[in-house]
Amino acid sequence: MDVEGEEASSCFGRCGATAAGFFFFFFFVSIAGGGASFPSMRLLRRLYLRLPPFRPNPAATSPGSLYWSRTTTRPAGPNHPIPIPRRMSTCSSSAAAAVVAEGSAARRFWIAAASREAAFAAYTPFLVSLAAGALRLDSFRQYIAQDAYFLHAFARAYEMAEECADDDDDKATIIVLRKAILRELNLHASVLQEWGVDPNKEIPPTPATTKYTDFLLATCTGKVDGGKGSDKMVTPFEKTKIAAYTVGAMTPCMRLYAYLGKELAVFLKQDENHPYKKWIETYASSDFENNALQIEELLDKLSVSLTGEELEIIGKLYQQAMRLEVEFFSAQPVDQPVVAPLSRYCDPKDKLLIFCDFDLTCTVVDSSAILAEIAILSHQKASQGGADSSLDRTKSADLRNSWNMLSNQYMEEYEQCIASLLPPEEARSLDYDQLYKGLEVLSEFEKLANSRVVDSGVLRGMNLDDIRKAGERLILQDGCKNFFQKIGNKRENLNLDVHILSYCWCADLIRSAFSSVGCLDGLNIHSNEFAFEGSVSTGHINRQMESPLDKAEKFKSIKSDIGSTGPLLSVYIGDSVGDLLCLLEADIGIVVGSSTTLRTVGKQFGVSFVPLFTGLVEKQRRTEKEEESSIFKARSGILYTVSSWSEVQAFILGNDFS
């Protein structure tokens, strides 16, 4: 059974993206010295045929948005898959191309923010509780009272932007948008009364509210990048620039609310009596979406005549406004148990254990392909440099052919192995025991693949310094570095341990990768090690973790040792079938990327895959109703999917832009 046969379609349209990925890869591994030739045409052809299809991405739900992420769908080399770029979009490729071709500044700014700040807003206690319909009225009353200050600041900002705009059409658009805000303000008094807030009673703004409104009104006067502003703007162009800056600081608020409205509207279908239905429907409406599109189009038009430096300023204003908006949601008082962020949900006495895979969960490229390339180039350098005759002088071309053959053999046999372990019928609930037996077969296959690599001699002759240099240049997934840096900063205060469980052949590569970005301190790495004579690899691997069963046993051992000293909560973050047992053994299993093989195997054994935000909203509903010590349970059969590392950070640590 070809578990990923559907991914062979539409391959020609994606060849360019793959070629770019390979160009990056071989440029990267050149640090080992010498040049690098490309894989055989047969291997390239096989890789093109296995490129994944377009998938919707929940982090980019606005019309015309385009979001890029890197993931993989199948192993393509011993132990690990060769990395393949994946493009995900909520619109057709032609529509997305049109957006990019038009050079929409507003769209570019939102794309950058959608993968980070939007997640941090959604995962706040306020919005998770609101989505669940469990937010207490006092918290909502406080929110809408603060929101009134935002609306007044917006009305004033539109007025000032209108004064600066030079074009009559721009002025007309601003007037329309300002009238919408004024209508909302007129309705605000009745809404406040509906929720038990006296509109005539003065409620002071919170620091988070003041921080945004002050920022917005300062921008209206031209005070950007620490500037003093200008009381006298001589030319119409200078006025137009200030109008562009002002709109740039307002647009993210409109787009974020439209995004959140659509995200939360899903939960209205599950609860017709949702207490915050009116609020959600307001921001999920087509009218609000049209307003968001209007201000985005206005920003694009005002930006046309600006220089690159001025556009960069708008980009910074956009991001700053987004972060202030997130801080506003984070600051809303929520005096009730919440499931997000996890650091708040956990009892301070509980131990939080975070486990994570490395290859293609943390990284953009796969370590096995990197290490093999370094070894091939090391032989090439040794042959050219007249090194010690005791070193195996196998020609680099022969070694490359050997590696390509190993890769091709692995791909073919891995596919057969996966097909052989699948049960004939899909289980209705998690069948952990049968899954374990099936992965015993995969574990034997992985060990055999490693033996072939060792016997081939491909890994012989690598210098430890070259491996470390490769680790220093290894690029981590967007948001991954920031997550581990924040974990390191908070580790002592949060009572948590972090463990990396990896098939990687050489733990020195992992240590170097995390050390280079300041994340190694406090990180426990469990992986294989190369055998060295001096600083040169012998070609042998000290095998400590080379199969799904090895990972699971190590996971359970660590959890058992720490669990004996008190209560704990475990999280496992992974991307492939090799992580499946650990993902299920953890109290919370989080899937990064969109591996088709992982989903195929998981579903066949009764595993459900649920978007993390959706799952948390359901958990929040249960938190309000149940008295359980923890609503997260190991072997529940539910795994949570994310589209970015920002979601992982927002869920575990919450908002922290420091």
Q: Give residue 171's pLDDT.
A: 93
Beta bridge partners of 85: 70
Whether the CB-CB separation of 536 and 324 falls below 8 Å is answered with no
Q: Is residue 16 part of a domain?
A: no
Confidence check: pLDDT of 220 > 90: yes
Which of 470, 478, 386 lies closest to 119, judged by CA? 478
Can you tell me the distance from the alpha carbon of 89 to that of 93, in angstroms, rounded to the nearest whole number?
Answer: 8
Whether the CB-CB separation of 488 and 519 falls below 8 Å is answered with yes
Q: Where a domain ends, among 284, 310, 335?
A: 335
Q: What is the CATH number of the domain that holds 533?
A: 3.40.50.1000
| 634 and 544 within one domain | yes
Whether the CB-CB separation of 459 and 375 falls below 8 Å is answered with yes
Whether the CB-CB separation of 552 and 635 falls below 8 Å is answered with no
Q: Where a domain ends, among 335, 359, 384?
A: 335
Phi, psi (rounded to 5 degrees) for 71:
-155, -170
Q: Give residue 625's pLDDT.
A: 76
Mean pLDDT of the chain: 82
CB atoms within 10 A of CB 386: 8
| 366 and 311 within one domain | no
Average pLDDT over residues 423-439: 97
Average pLDDT over residues 426-434: 97
Sign of CA dihedral 485, 486, 487, 491: positive
| 242 and 120 within one domain | yes
Of the ranges 80-84, 400-404, 530-534, the best mean pLDDT one: 530-534
Question: Is-catalytic flag, 253?
Answer: yes
| 294 and 372 within one domain | no
| 355 and 260 within one domain | no
Q: What is the pLDDT confidence band of residue 567, given thresholds at 50, 70 and 90?
A: confident
Q: Give residue 443's pLDDT.
A: 97
| 458 and 495 within one domain | yes
| 163 and 306 within one domain | yes
Domain with 461 in it? 351-653
Q: Where a domain ends, among 306, 335, 364?
A: 335
Q: Is residue 522 part of a domain?
A: yes
Q: Is residue 59 part of a domain?
A: no
| 531 and 449 within one domain | yes
Q: What is the CATH number of the domain that holds 278?
A: 1.20.910.10
Average pLDDT over residues 259-284: 93
Q: Is residue 433 part of a domain?
A: yes
Confidence check: pLDDT of 258 > 70: yes
Q: What is the pLDDT confidence band of residue 655, given thresholds at 50, 70 and 90?
A: confident
State how many domains the chain has: 2
Can you tell me the distance from the alpha carbon of 180 to that of 174, in angstroms, rounded to the nearest whole number?
Answer: 10
Can you tell me the distance from the alpha carbon of 537 to that of 459, in angstroms, rounded to the nearest whole number?
Answer: 7
Confidence check: pLDDT of 122 > 80: yes
| 286 and 240 within one domain | yes
Confidence check: pLDDT of 105 > 90: yes
Phi, psi (rounded to 5 degrees) for 515:
-65, -35
Q: Mean pLDDT lowest for which of 213-227, 314-328, 520-534?
A: 213-227
DSSP letters spanning 94-123: HHHHHHHHHT-HHHHHHHHHHTTHHHHHHT
Q: Mean pLDDT lowest for which of 93-107, 183-197, 390-404, 452-466?
A: 93-107
Q: Mean pLDDT lowest for which of 19-23, 279-283, 536-540, 608-612?
A: 19-23
281: its two tokens: 């429907």
% residues pLDDT > 70 (the chain) = 78
Q: pLDDT tens for residues 468-505?
A: 999 999 999 999 999 999 998 887 788 899 999 999 99
Whether the CB-CB separation of 159 and 153 falls below 8 Å is answered with no
C-alpha distance from residue 432 to each of 578, 589, 635 (Å) = 14, 15, 8
Catalytic residue, chosen from 325, 327, 415, 647, is 325
648: its two tokens: 């992982």
Catalytic residue, chosen from 253, 346, 480, 582, is 253
Whether the CB-CB separation of 479 and 656 falls below 8 Å is answered with no
Q: pLDDT tens for residues 60-92?
A: 333 222 222 323 333 334 443 333 222 223 333
Q: pLDDT tens for residues 631-653?
A: 899 999 999 999 999 999 999 99
Q: What is the pLDDT confidence band of residue 116, given thresholds at 50, 70 and 90?
A: confident
Can you tell me the distance from the alpha carbon of 318 to that of 185, in angstroms, rounded to the nearest whole number?
Answer: 24
Which of 357, 287, 339 lies closest to 81, judged by CA? 357
Q: Give residue 200's pLDDT.
A: 64
Question: Is-catalytic flag, 184?
Answer: no
Q: What is the pLDDT confidence band of residue 124, given thresholds at 50, 70 and 90?
A: very high
Higher-confidence residue of 431 and 71: namely 431
Q: What is the pLDDT confidence band of residue 196, given thresholds at 50, 70 and 90?
A: confident
Q: Is residue 298 part of a domain?
A: yes
Q: Is residue 68 part of a domain?
A: no
Inter-residue long-range contacts of 152-155, CB under 8 Å, 24+ positions, other chains counted: 152/185, 152/213, 153/212, 153/213, 153/216, 153/217, 154/181, 154/216, 154/250, 154/253, 155/181, 155/182, 155/185
| 196 and 169 within one domain | yes
Q: Give residue 12's pLDDT.
A: 25
% residues pLDDT > 90 (the chain) = 62
Q: pLDDT tens for residues 281-323?
A: 989 999 999 999 999 999 999 999 899 999 999 999 999 999 9
Q: Give residue 46's pLDDT.
A: 28
Q: What is the pLDDT confidence band of residue 213, given thresholds at 50, 70 and 90?
A: very high
Confidence check: pLDDT of 626 > 80: no
Confidence check: pLDDT of 30 > 90: no
Q: Give residue 594's pLDDT.
A: 85
Predicted model pTM: 0.84
Q: What is the pLDDT confidence band of residue 29, given thresholds at 50, 70 and 90?
A: very low
Q: pLDDT tens for residues 35-46?
A: 333 333 223 222
Confidence check: pLDDT of 364 > 50: yes
Q: How far, rounded to the nearest angstrom, does the alpha carbon of residue 458 sit from its chain's CA centroid?
A: 34
Q: Is residue 258 part of a domain?
A: yes
Whether the CB-CB separation of 355 and 585 falls below 8 Å is answered with no
Start-end of H helices in 304-431: 308-331, 342-345, 367-385, 396-421
| 357 and 415 within one domain | yes
Can you tell me the distance from the alpha carbon of 439 to that of 419, in angstroms, rounded to the nearest whole number?
Answer: 12
Helices 277-284 & 286-303 angle (0-180, nearest 10): 40
Q: pLDDT tens for residues 131-173?
A: 999 999 989 988 988 998 999 999 999 999 999 998 899 999 9
| 291 and 409 within one domain | no
Q: Give residue 40's pLDDT.
A: 32
Q: Is residue 77 part of a domain?
A: no
Confidence check: pLDDT of 590 > 60: yes
Higher-confidence residue of 201 and 67: namely 201
